[in-house]
Amino acid sequence: RLSLEMHMAWVSSLEDLNFVVSPSCPHMIHGNDPELVLWAIRRVLFPDPSKRLRELVVQSDEATFVSEYRKLKASYPADSLGEDLLNTLGYEMLQQDKLPQALAAFRLNVEEYPTASNPYDSLGEACMAQGDLALSAANYRKSLELDPSNRNAVNRLEEIDRRLQERASEQE
């Protein structure tokens, strides 16, 4: 198992489209672990989509990002571009103070996975970071509707209510 993990780490470190499997491999990976060979071939045929999406979200407008994501999704295996990929991308952008890009990734995640709770929760967080408390609350409510056990949404909605009350009392 350690050998498989070491080989996967090595293969992952290579640039896309640079892995070659040879029948004369001294480690006999092809004979001892055909699963690794299939994984490596799949990686060559379907390079890591997160790299391409990261470039797209930073370098293009939201419409282009969405269009290119959908093209990638149509050409990749179904399990390659899932909810988690867009969510991770959104949080990467949020942590880098790239709020418009984070919002684009989270909005696309909500469009692509409208019955999943987490995309709404994440979009709610980005909207809160933007200062749009009403939209943030709407997304947290939707997340809670889809997953009534989502304590984060409950806590965030309470925080939004507190902030709105503070704003109202400041205006008095």
Average pLDDT over residues 79-91: 91
Residue 107, pLDDT > 60, answer: yes
User: Per-residue confidence at 25, pLDDT binned at 50, 70, 90?
Assistant: low
pTM of the predicted structure, to 2 decimals? 0.75
Residues 54-59: contacts with CB under 8 Å, at least 24 apart: 54/89, 54/92, 57/89, 57/93, 57/101, 57/104, 57/105, 58/93, 58/98, 58/101
The mean pLDDT value for 35-62 works out to 83
Residue 129 pLDDT > 80:
yes
